[in-house]
């Protein structure tokens, strides 16, 4: 609205105009602060590294961001068999963010166990120094990484999930039966250990380990076992 003021100056009438008051600025909403995504804490072992590879030679997914906003391995299901290959199944999160085809399953070899034990028993599998791969429950978590096992430098791309017993996924030779000291071996040339090493998140990626139901019903445990530091044919059980 224009306000008119009439004034008499030297016999002439002037129409003075005063400008309209400026409108009050609109109140802008206070922006919600964006909290940074908390990266998982590496609890054991070392931080992830290239382990002598070029960045382009790693198996890290193109959608991997180092936290749960990107592509990562959500959980790993380990299916144990006594007289053939065990299997390691990778379940991915946010796989649509990756441009490559992500692997799902690899053959593996778990712990053979001491000759005095049967690794199919959950309590026996969880005993220290049993040389069994510990079963679930509980659900395990990735705890950290190393480029190789200290005692066995040929066992590479180590992803720890039971640090107290020094048990991990790693690359190595994989026979079609349990043969390790408790770790889960994945065949080096198939690069399964690298996929886990490069795409899991410490403190977040979950691991469940269970025996096949048919193998649980069998009277016979795995064909090999540890006698001291030697992997031998399991002694035949004496009839009761």
Tens place of pLDDT per residue across the chain (240 aa): 444 444 444 444 444 455 566 665 565 555 544 434 344 444 577 889 999 999 999 999 999 999 999 999 999 999 999 999 999 999 999 999 999 999 999 999 999 999 999 999 999 999 999 999 999 999 999 999 999 998 899 999 999 999 999 999 999 999 999 999 999 999 999 999 999 999 999 999 999 999 999 999 999 999 999 999 999 999 987 654
9 within domain boundaries: no
Element (H, E) at 240: none
CA angle, 115 as apex, 240 and 133 as ends, to 5°? 120
Number of domains making up the chain: 1
10 within domain boundaries: no
Please tell me what DSSP assigns to residue 229: T
Query: For residue 198, what are the domain limits?
Result: 44-228
Rounded Cα distance, 21 and 1, in Å: 9
235 within domain boundaries: no
CATH number, residue 103: 2.40.440.10
Rounded Cα distance, 155 and 122, in Å: 26
Sign, CA torsion 180/181/185/189: negative
3 within domain boundaries: no
CA distances from 107 to 103, 159, 179, 210 (A): 12, 16, 13, 15
Q: Considering the entire predicted model, what is its pTM?
A: 0.81
28 within domain boundaries: no
CA angle, 66 as apex, 63 and 71 as ends, to 5°? 30
159 within domain boundaries: yes
199 within domain boundaries: yes
68 within domain boundaries: yes
């Amino acid at each position: 609205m224009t306000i008119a003021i009439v004034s008499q100056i030297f016999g002439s009438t002037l129409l003075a105009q005063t400008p309209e008051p400026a409108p009050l600025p609109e109140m802008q909403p206070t922006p919600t602060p964006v909290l940074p995504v908390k990266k998982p804490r590496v609890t054991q072992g070392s931080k992830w590294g290239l382990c002598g590879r070029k960045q382009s030679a790693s198996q890290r997914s193109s959608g991997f961001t180092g936290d749960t906003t990107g592509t990562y391995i959500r959980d790993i299901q380990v299916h144990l068999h006594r007289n053939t290959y065990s299997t390691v199944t990778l379940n991915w999160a946010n796989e649509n963010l990756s441009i490559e085809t992500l692997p799902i399953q690899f053959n593996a070899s778990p712990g053979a166990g001491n000759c005095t034990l049967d690794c199919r028993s959950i309590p026996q599998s969880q005993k220290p120094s049993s040389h069994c791969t510990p079963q679930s429950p509980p659900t395990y978590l990735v705890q950290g990484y190393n480029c190789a096992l200290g005692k066995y430098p040929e066992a590479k791309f180590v992803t720890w999930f039971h640090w107290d017993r020094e048990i991990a996924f790693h690359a190595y030779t994989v026979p079609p039966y349990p043969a390790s000291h408790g770790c889960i071996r994945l065949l080096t040339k198939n690069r399964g250990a690298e996929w886990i090493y490069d795409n899991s998140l410490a403190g977040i990626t979950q691991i469940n380990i269970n025996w096949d139901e048919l193998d649980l019903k069998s009277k016979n445990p795995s064909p090999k076992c540890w006698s001291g530091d030697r992997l031998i044919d399991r002694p035949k059980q004496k009839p009761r």
